[in-house]
A and B are shown apart, each in its own frame.
Chain A
Amino acid sequence: MKLFQARGATLQALFLVVLCIVTMVVDHRFHHLEIVRSNISLVISPLRYLVSLPATGGHWLGDWFTSHSELLEENETFKAESRILSARLQKLEILAEENARLRNLLGSSRKIADDVIVAELLSVDQNPYRQLIEINKGSSAGVEIGHAVIDDFGVMGQVIHVNPQSATIILISDPEHAIPVQFVRSGTRSVAFGRGSTRQLELRYLPATADIMVDDELVTSGLGGRFPPNYPVARVTSISEDRIRGFVSVIAEPKARLDSSREVLVIKPRL
Chain B
Amino acid sequence: MADLQRLEDTLKRDGGQVRDAGPEDAVDGVPATAVARPVSADGVAAVLRETTAQGLATVARGAGTALDWGAPPERVDLILDTTGLDRLVEHGSGDLVVVAEAGLPVATLAETVRAAGQELVVDLPPERLAAGSTVGGALSTGASGPRRLQRGGIRDLVLGATVVLADGTVASSGGKVVKNVAGYDLAKLLTGAYGTLGIVVRAAFRLHPVRPDRAFVVATGPSADVAARARGVVGSQLAPAAVELDRPVGSEVAEVAVLLEGTGGAVGQRAAAVVEILGGRVQGEPPEWWAALPGAEVSTGSTRGGGDVTYAKATATLTGVADLLAAAQDAEQRYGVGVALRGSAGGVLHAAVTGTPEATAAAVGHLRGAASSPREGTVTVLRASREVRAALDAWGPVGGLDLMRAIKSRLDPGRNVAPGRFVGGI
| A and B together in one complex | no
